[in-house]
Amino acid sequence: MTIALVNGRVLTDNGFQGGFAVLVDGGTITGLALPSDPRVRAAERHDLGGQTLLPGFIDCQVNGGGGVLFNDAPTVEVIRTIGEAHARFGTTGFLPTLISDDPDVMAKAIDAVNAAVEQGVPGVLGIHLEGPFIAPERKGVHDAAKFRVAGADDVAMIARRHGGVTLLTLAPERASDDVLAQLVANGVIVAAGHTAADYDTTRHALGSGVRGFTHLFNAMTPFTSREPGVVGAALEDAASWCGLIVDGHHVHPASLRVAIAAKAREKMMLVTDAMPPVGSDNPNFVLKGETITVRDGVCQTADGTLAGSALDMATAVRNTVQMVGVSYDEAARMASTYPAAFLGLGSTHGHVAAGYRADFVVMDDAYQVTETWIGGTKVFG
């Protein structure tokens, strides 16, 4: 049965448009049509009540949610719980993210994501391995005891083919050209992060296949007058994507404005770096045996080290509009269209247009999520 989503303001590739119905059949958008179109009259109508219909949000960095952490239990059940928690905030696609861990845990995480994709767990697009091939000098909350330099066995494990995408964050100075070449040749998306690399090393890595930057500004060498660092290389490069944590704590709004103005358009994307408190009533969780507490919206250790975030994608969009000053349509694309392109899913995800997956988020005038649809099925609201 065709569903017609009517009476909404729709974000299309041409901007916000009203007066159109979005037709959905079998989990796919079949077209946008005027209310007088016979297909609309014959369809099951769903009234959006004048609210805004956006492409579903895609989050490339989700450590946890709903009170659970992926590292603690890399299972299909945990992935499902995380997805359900984030769907409340408009996330229709996500990468469960494993921070630096031992090889056996990494293998379990990859297997769990593969199984989740095969079982059709809503929203799972693949896996993000954040480490362990990162720099001790920029470790953040990662456990340096887990760090190592990638070898042939690591490449073979990470590059195993499955139904989703694989994103790997590494420090370019800790990966050889041969390792980078093997990863890229096997379809792994490589991002630079938690790195002490200088500008020249980063530029070389970009030429060797690095495609993006994990949480720009955080855990990387800064941009200064005589040493552009990783941040300078990231902003200069027109082909790569940068993830931004827009929670008002990880990066100052002025720095965000400067970075967005400097970077090539369509290459900035929102991420949450979310931890278990998102979608949970419990503000505490345990990481590496240490209790992490959310204080004033910030996940931090007892000594004040940032430990992921308590951010959700709806709040990230709202902050990008209200705190940073980005237009609503551009902020929404930073949460949907641009991450889809980064993950190589730009032909199927991230647009409200015929032929694309029917993944939507409906927001009211206060940027609050009222409905979330994944594959043509309403999963929240």
Contact 46, 6 (CB under 8 A): yes
Q: Provide CATH 3.20.20.140 ranges for the chain.
A: 56-342
Contact yes or no for 63/308 (Cβ under 8 A): yes
- Predicted confidence at residue 295, as pLDDT, reads 84
pLDDT for the residue numbered 290: 84
- 273 noted as active-site residue: yes
The per-residue pLDDT for 36 is 93
Active site residue: 59, 101, 154, 273, which one? 273
Which CATH number fits the domain 56-342, given the four candidates 2.40.50.140, 3.40.1440.10, 3.20.20.140, 3.20.20.70? 3.20.20.140
182, containing H or E segment: helix 177-185
Query: Does this model's pTM top 0.85?
Result: yes
Domain 3-54+354-380 of CATH type 3.65.10.10: no
Tens of pLDDT along 196-255? 999 999 999 999 999 999 999 999 999 999 999 999 999 999 999 999 999 999 999 999
User: How high is the pLDDT of residue 296?
Assistant: 81
pLDDT reported for residue 306:
86
- pLDDT value of position 189: 98
Which tens digits make up the pLDDT trace of 244-301?
A: 999 999 999 999 999 999 999 999 999 999 999 999 999 989 888 888 988 888 898 8
Residue 142's pLDDT band (boundaries 50, 70, 90)?
Answer: very high
Q: How far is CA 354 from CA 2, 13, 27, 33, 59, in A?
A: 13, 11, 11, 10, 23
pLDDT digits (tens, 9 = 90+) for 299-358: 988 888 888 999 999 999 999 999 999 999 999 999 999 999 999 999 999 999 999 999
| Cα separation values, 233 from 189, 268, 349, Å | 18, 14, 28
Closest CA to 143 of 45, 287, 302, 345: 287
Domain(s) labelled CATH 2.30.40.10 in the chain stretch across 3-54+354-380
Assess whether pLDDT exceeds 80 at residue 161.
no
Residue 72 CB: number of other CB atoms within 10 A?
14
